[in-house]
Amino acid sequence: MTEPAADPLASDLLRGHTDTIVLSVLQRADRYGFEIFKAIRQATGGAHEIKEATLYATYRRLQKDGLVESYWGGETQGGRRKYYHVTDAGRAVFHRNVAAWNTTRDIIDNILQIGK
Amino acid sequence: MTEPAADPLASDLLRGHTDTIVLSVLQRADRYGFEIFKAIRQATGGAHEIKEATLYATYRRLQKDGLVESYWGGETQGGRRKYYHVTDAGRAVFHRNVAAWNTTRDIIDNILQIGK
DNA sequence: ATCGAGTACTGTGCGTGATACAGTACTGGG
DNA sequence: CCCAGTACTGTATCACGCACAGTACTCGAT
């Protein structure tokens, strides 16, 4: 790539949303770690990546909290792939987090309008 | 109030937005610290507070970075009041942060839609 | 054949921001 | 007279995201 392109998505703005984002990606189907990484990178139009280190730490945390389960899957190329599957608890947390996000978004939108 | 009411606005969701929120509140007029605190608490409908300690730390950071200036004002009741005033640099950062927020919000909204 | 780039995962250590907790000082109402 | 509210300050802690580093495999180009 030619440019890092003045990343508008600062790390701290992502903070706290990473779990929800990962759970969201896993909602439709099981996916392996690197796939989730690529899916998120693509969803931002390549404008931003959540760093691998961040994501793999997130997977560990989600698993520790029982929100996802993992299993080794058939590797076609490259390294072995560890797949993640959302548990019922994970689904519940996801829905709660989405609700929290909606609330937060509206509140911030509302406050920022004051300064206009 | 009777209830802490299962705070849906977790600290980490606010993370990184505090500076912008404070700058926003200061956009219209100079305000003193505790006033900003109350303004934010009210803007969230009392559902959430950004903690005093967090805000005062934010004021210090903003001042250190030259985004706000402070001066002691006439105290009518309670303790002395330190007023904050946005600098031109602060205004510039505020506008950039609002733009960043809009981008971030849309990206997160977009990703979370995947899991629907 | 071998070298680098891409795929795929793991681990350590650091910086930053939000908070808990604690403390100072003044004022007005019960 | 004391407590609650107003108003500000400081210290220590914790979690998250990231930089950086490393392992291991595969495929295409040289």
- What is the SS3 assignment for chain A? CCCCCCCCCCHHHHCCCHHHHHHHHCCCCCEEHHHHHHHHHHHCCCCCCCCHHHHHHHHHHHHHCCCEEEEEECCCCCCCEEEEEECHHHHHHHHHHHHHHHHHHHHHHHHHHHCC
Mean pLDDT calculated for residue range B47-51: 82
Q: Provide the pLDDT confidence category of residue B45 given band limits of 50, 70 and 90.
A: confident
The first and second tokens of residue B104, run together, are: 């971030």
Q: To the nearest whole percent, how much of chain A has pLDDT over 70?
A: 85
Q: What is the CA radius of gyration of chain A?
A: 16
Q: Provide the pLDDT confidence category of residue B5 given band limits of 50, 70 and 90.
A: very low
Whether the pLDDT of residue B91 is over 50: the answer is yes
Confirm if B104 and A93 have CB atoms less than 8 A apart: no
C23 C1' to A105 CA distance, Å: 35
Cα distances from B39 to residues A20, A29, B30, B86, B104, in angstroms, run: 29, 43, 13, 16, 24
Least confidently predicted of B2-11, B28-37, B106-115: B2-11
Q: Provide the pLDDT confidence category of residue B44 given band limits of 50, 70 and 90.
A: confident
Q: Which bases on strand C have an atom closer than 7 Å to a protein beta carbon?
A: 6-13, 16-22, 24-28
Mean pLDDT calculated for residue range B50-76: 90
| pTM value > 0.85 | yes
Give residue ranges of A with CB < 8 Å to any B CB: 8-17, 20-21, 23-28, 39-40, 43-44, 47-48, 94, 96, 98-101, 103-105, 107-112, 114-116
Q: Kindly give the residue spans of alpha helices, DSSP state H, lying in B27-87.
A: 33-43, 52-64
Question: What are A40-79's pLDDT values in tens digits?
Answer: 998 887 778 899 999 999 999 999 999 999 999 866 666 7
CB contact under 8 A, A114 and B23: no
pLDDT of the residue at B7: 55
pLDDT of the residue at B48: 77
Give the residue on A whose Cα is nearest the Cα of B13. Answer: A16
Dist CA B71 CA A45 (whole Å):
45
pLDDT of the residue at B2: 34
pLDDT: which is higher, A34 or A10: A34
Q: For residue A21, give how far its alpha carbon lies from the nearest alpha carbon of chain B (Å).
A: 6
Dist CA A69 CA A61 (whole Å):
11
Q: For residue B86, list its beta bridge partners.
A: B68
Phi and psi angles of residue B66, each rounded to the nearest 5 degrees, phi first:
75, 20
Whether the pLDDT of residue B37 is over 90: the answer is yes
Q: To the nearest whole percent, how much of chain A has pLDDT over 90?
A: 59
pLDDT: which is higher, A23 or A5: A23
- Which protein residues have a C-beta closer than 7 A to any atom of strand D? A 11-12, 14-19, 50-54, 57-58, 61, 77-79; B 12, 32-35, 38, 52-53, 56-57, 59-60, 75-83
D24 C1' to A76 CA distance, Å: 14
pLDDT of the residue at A5: 42
Q: Provide the pLDDT confidence category of residue A12 given band limits of 50, 70 and 90.
A: confident
pLDDT of the residue at A73: 83
Residue B12 has its nearest CB partner, among A10, A15, A24, at: A15
pLDDT of the residue at A75: 61
